[in-house]
Structure 1
């Protein structure tokens, strides 16, 4: 994918594929985002990935025909990222898992929507028929964004997560079929 620049809401940002030079910044960004919101699966520092871990992930994703790693860059820094990960197993080769993270200071700027749109364009062009994701049920803005892009709720995992406040939270499972596949159902 060629880098694409967008402007809106007083911000210019670029969506592009992750590169090895991004690894150290991605490591720091992931920890920062995990600590900014309860919407992520991890608390800050959990499942830590260092620069080398990100280098290996970026290399594996760029060498695979069923994986995509996008970053969003604004104000000279990475401010978000998204990944799609397909499967090499035949029974699951038609689908990919999607995940997205955007720094809190950049929420509402359209970055998440563009990362999602580009990931879906890639999936549709790569022969992936279905994109799956999971989202905290309390993250209503993300659920609205996904629904706007054709995702449907497929299920709810009750009391799936227990946060630091001691409360349990549900996880919503969502899926989106490629338009051609959906018309065949």
Structure 2
């Protein structure tokens, strides 16, 4: 599904949040690889589950055509600096919900990009009668957990010893969900 572009100005930085297009595929492939190497908050290490340009083109096409999917990009001066996706389910028993995920280049943290990607996704979900948004977050990512709670998500469960990080320790994954009010 597509949304209308929105412009934001936070701490002197202006950026646009808009639906991804096929022209973004090449840059998304590069940016995802960079982001995966910048933090351990995500599921992948750099280079794992690599998505090439045709792979992103397919994702964008699928998400644009589906009323249950939303693929957003955050753009600063014509450069994609982050993105988010809401992915719905084809199975009837899960058709009422979407899973949310977000990632942003580290140089662009603290400009409200993640917050505005989340708010835009929530607004889209609510206006499309989606009954539940879910997400998973690393237990040590307190900033993200607080952001999600602030926007109506609640902890639904914990996956114990779910991720093995570079310090050779296991960490829990927090499962969160949001139901429209």
The alignment partner of 1:31 has SS state of: helix
Partner of 1:14: 16
How far apart, in 1, do the equivalents of 2:64 and 2:124 lie?
13
Cα displacement string for residues 130-181 of structure 1 (whole angstroms, at most 9, x for unaligned residues): 00000000000000110010000011111100012211111000000011xx
- Equivalent positions of 1:35-184 (< 5 A) are 35-179=37-181
How far apart, in 2, do the equivalents of 1:12 and 1:104 lie?
17
How large is the Cα RMSD of the aligned pairs?
A: 0.7
Moved more, 85-94 or 138-147: 85-94
Structure 1 runs (4+) greater than 3 angstroms displaced: none
Structure 1 residues not aligned, in runs of 5+: 180-185
Structure 2 residues not aligned, in runs of 5+: none
Deviation at 1:8, TM superposition (A): 1.5
How far apart, in 2, do the equivalents of 1:50 and 1:127 lie?
32
Q: TM-score, normalised by structure 2?
A: 0.97
Deviation at 1:4, TM superposition (A): 0.8
The alignment partner of 1:70 has SS state of: strand
The alignment partner of 1:41 has SS state of: coil
How far apart, in 2, do the equivalents of 1:148 and 1:102 lie?
19
**How many residues are matched?**
179
How far apart, in 2, do the equivalents of 1:149 and 1:74 lie?
24
Deviation at 1:89, TM superposition (A): 1.4
The alignment partner of 2:115 has SS state of: helix
